[in-house]
């Protein structure tokens, strides 16, 4: 028996088809969704993501701007740039690619983005809205994970979901969304002594830690849904997840590949957030 593969790329394509319909309606009302992506410095991995985001904007007919500034850009200069786009009417989403160079305080940058345009869902107010359950722009990777589960018939309700990783961009928000979807949620991290044992209790296992091939078949309950959020660039240039895919394939019931799993969904949810923000800006 081999796991069913969750083709995030295909699911992402069909969501984009749905979005295109909505974009056309909005455009008839005179509004074109607009996204600006700001890239500080020359990080090679970031270049790929930024290119994929621009491609998605083109596919959906958004207005998109990619602003590349040098690694030496000061925090003050970056804040001024954000201030400009906060005011700019044709821009509905602002994404500053992380990580930033060390001399820039990430928190100051995230705080400066207007909540209405926070399409990453990283602003403290967005995070608070997520916690409370209010309508918010949700972080893209976590909401992509939920979409993958729902659209493959793996609704989290009543399931035991185990999240490995507690980052602000993946672990914590994905745990909160799973809770909102009525899963019973356990969060494991680097100081959890018996991770494999806990992971093996999961009906849904979500892994986002940045350790290539950490999760082996002994960590997985037969038939479990395994969602791999890891995007690790190996020395040979290949992408690899946090799950040892080949090892886990025969045990899991469902599994996301890397690439082609969660990654494309992240970008599609960014497009969905930008559209949502553009719709809200009409009023």
Ligand X SMILES: Nc1nc(=O)c2c([nH]1)NC[C@@H]1CN(c3ccc(C(=O)N[C@@H](CCC(=O)O)C(=O)O)cc3)C=[N+]21
* Interface positions with ligand X (CB under 6 A): 48-49, 52, 95-98, 120, 140, 231, 239, 258-260, 263-264, 266-267
Under rule CB under 5 A, residue 262 binds Mg ion: yes
Cα gap 268→13, rounded to integer Å: 8
Question: For ligand X, which is the closer residue by CB, 39 or 195?
Answer: 39
Measured in degrees and rounded to the nearest 5, phi and psi for residue 188 equal -110, 155
Strand order in the sheet with 63-69: 63-69, 34-40, 93-96
User: Catalytic annotation on 120?
Assistant: yes
Decide whether 73 or 268 has the Cβ nearer to Mg ion.
268
| 68 assigned binding-site residue | no
- State the minimum distance, in angstroms, from the CB of residue 48 to Mg ion: 12
- Diameter of the chain by CA atoms? 56
Of ligand X, Mg ion, none, which one does residue 140 interact with (CB within 5 to 8 Å by kind)?
ligand X
Residue of 119, 255, 258, 275 interacting with Mg ion (CB under 5 A): 258
Q: Which range touches Mg ion (CB under 5 A), out of 18-26, 27-35, 188-196, 257-265?
A: 257-265
Query: DSSP assignment, residue 243?
Result: B
The owner of tokens 């869902």 is: 121
The SS3 of residue 105 is coil
Cis peptide before 259 (omega within 30 of 0): yes
166: annotated binding-site residue? yes
165 is in an annotated binding site: yes
Shortest Å, Cβ 241 to ligand X = 9
Q: Tell whether 200 is in a known binding site.
A: no
- Between 30 and 237, CB nearer to ligand X: 237
Query: DSSP states of 113-144 as a string?
Result: S-GGG-TT--SHHHHHHHHHT-S-PPPHHHHH
Instruction: Say what the alpha-carbon torsion angle 259, 239, 165, 55 is, to the nearest 10 degrees.
Output: -50
| Cα dist from 106 to 56, 71, 116, 122, 282, whole Å | 26, 14, 19, 11, 30
Name which of 253 and 260 has its Cβ closer to ligand X.
260
**Residue placing its CB nearer to ligand X in the complex, 183 or 226:** 226
- Active site annotation includes 47: no
Question: Is residue 206 a contact residue for Mg ion (CB under 5 A)?
Answer: no
97 is an active site residue: yes
- Taking the complex as a whole, the smallest distance from the CB of residue 247 to Mg ion amounts, in Å, to 17
Q: Which residue of the set 4, 27, 88, 97 is catalytic?
A: 97
Binding residues: 165-167, 231
Which residues are marked as active site?
Answer: 53, 97, 120
């Amino acid at each position: 028996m081999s796991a069913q593969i969750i083709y995030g790329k295909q699911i992402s394509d069909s969501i984009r088809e749905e979005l295109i319909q909505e974009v056309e309606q909005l455009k008839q009302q005179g509004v074109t969704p607009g996204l600006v992506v700001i890239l500080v410095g020359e990080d090679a991995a970031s270049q790929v993501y930024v290119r994929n985001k621009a491609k998605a904007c083109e596919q959906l007919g958004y207005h998109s701007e990619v602003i590349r500034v040098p690694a030496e850009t000061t925090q003050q200069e970056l804040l001024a740039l954000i201030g400009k786009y906060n005011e700019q009417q044709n821009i509905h989403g602002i994404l500053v690619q992380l990580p930033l160079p060390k001399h820039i305080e990430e928190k100051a940058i995230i705080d400066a983005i207007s909540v209405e345009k926070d399409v990453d869902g990283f602003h403290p107010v967005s995070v608070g809205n997520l916690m409370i359950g209010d309508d918010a722009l949700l972080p893209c990777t976590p909401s992509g994970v939920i979409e993958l589960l729902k659209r493959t018939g793996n609704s989290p309700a009543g399931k035991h979901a185990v999240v490995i990783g507690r980052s602000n961009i993946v672990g914590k928000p994905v745990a909160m969304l799973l809770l909102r979807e009525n899963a019973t949620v356990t969060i494991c991290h680097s100081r959890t002594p018996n991770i494999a044992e806990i992971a093996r209790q999961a009906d849904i296992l979500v892994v986002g830690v940045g350790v290539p091939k950490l999760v082996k078949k002994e960590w997985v309950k037969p038939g479990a849904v395994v969602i791999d959020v890891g995007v690790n660039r190996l020395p040979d240039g290949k992408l690899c997840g946090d799950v040892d895919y080949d090892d886990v394939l025969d045990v899991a019931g469902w599994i996301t590949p890397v690439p082609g799993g969660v990654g494309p969904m992240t970008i599609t949810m960014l497009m969905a957030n930008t559209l949502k923000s553009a719709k809200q800006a009409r009023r």
